[in-house]
Homo-oligomer: A and B are copies of this chain.
Amino acid sequence: MTTPPSPPTTPTVLVLDAEPLPRLGRLTGRARIEHADASTLAERLPHADVLLVWDFTSHAVREAWPGDGPRPRWVHTASAGVDHLMCPELAGSDTVVTNARGVFDRPIAEYVAALVLAMAKDLPTTLRLQGERTWRHRESLRVAGTRACVVGSGPIGRAIAQTLKALGITVALVGRTARPGVHGPGELDRLLARADWVVAAAPLTDDTRGMFDARRFGMMQPSARFVNVGRGRLVVEDDLAEALTRRWIAGAALDVLVHEPLAPDSPLWTVPDLIVSPHMSGDTVGWRDELGAQFVELFDSWAAGGPLANVVDKKRGYVPGH
């Protein structure tokens, strides 16, 4: 089922809050907007027609989701991934889940290109030497003509592939199922072994959890560099730290971590040749307004009795499609 039942005349939209709040002025008179935080969510969920998971860093939904009985018929999350809210009760219910598919594609693709180019041109060393007032000429790498393997063939992975190709990089895209332009998981290891750049952009599912582990880092080229913009748990972080320390691979960048925010005493901050950034790859100026506008657009379609876009396959954990 991809469309929730038609809404009541003035549905109750419960917002799991985060600052800054979404701009939902356009729903005035058409929806009753209520707010919750982690402590009040369980109490308010049964009375809501729609849940807007605005705080997409929160795990409160899967803790508060009612087993049976009244519950929202539609849950929208202002994120691409749904791993933070999915639970067996929600997956098994007839509640429709939608996500923010589309908002983050191009910004994340640009962010990956920034990391790839920064590593190729050795920019972290340049900045460090600048801090030491040291002029030291080095040779750098051309990215044109190199090879990337992008894991994750959804809109984000495809946008990444498109942007890297525009820089002259040959890109192999790996998805859950082989199809034209996308390699199946059976080809992953072969492609990893010849990639100069490995980019993780897959959703977090039972199939992808921990897929980048010692075995996979061990099969990459010593000159390879790894980038994760998907979810922290795609990576076995200890294995990556060891692969970098032992120089199995030449570098890595993590924009997503198993534990966010990364604790000040985490050893990951100082792993050699590792760039750590605070889960910001998709968040360009105006992104929150785009996310709010996207929800209003989905609401308009739903209120008009139309089908909902961006409906997540709750068993798989992402929006299926090409």
Q: Any chain B CB within 8 A of the CB of A163? A: yes
Chain A 306-318: CB-based contact to B (< 8 A → 1; otherwise 0): 0000000000000
Q: Which of A131-161 contact B (CB under 8 A)?
A: 133-144
Are B110 and A118 within 8 A (Cβ)?
A: no
With A133-B264, A135-B262 already in contact, the answer to whether A142 and B284 are too (CB < 8 A) is yes
Are B140 and A284 within 8 A (Cβ)?
A: yes
In Å, the complex CA distance between A270 and B303 comes to 56
Closest Cβ of chain B to A81, distance in Å, is 16
With A139-B287, A140-B111 already in contact, the answer to whether A123 and B118 are too (CB < 8 A) is yes
Q: Which residues on B sit within 8 Å (CB–CB) of A126? A: 275-278, 280
The number of chain A residues touching the other chain, given as a range, is 35 or more
- Residues of chain A at the chain B interface (Cβ within 8 Å): 106-107, 110-111, 113-114, 117-118, 120-121, 123-124, 126-127, 129-130, 133-144, 163, 166-168, 260-262, 264-266, 269, 275-280, 283-285, 287
Add 9 more A-B contacts to A114-B118, A166-B167 (CB < 8 A): A110-B120, A110-B121, A113-B113, A130-B277, A133-B269, A137-B278, A137-B279, A137-B280, A139-B285
User: Could you list some 25 contacts between A and B, CB below 8 A?
Assistant: A107-B140, A110-B121, A114-B114, A114-B117, A117-B117, A117-B118, A118-B118, A124-B127, A127-B127, A127-B275, A129-B278, A130-B276, A130-B277, A133-B265, A133-B266, A134-B264, A135-B261, A135-B262, A138-B280, A139-B280, A139-B285, A140-B284, A142-B284, A163-B167, A166-B166
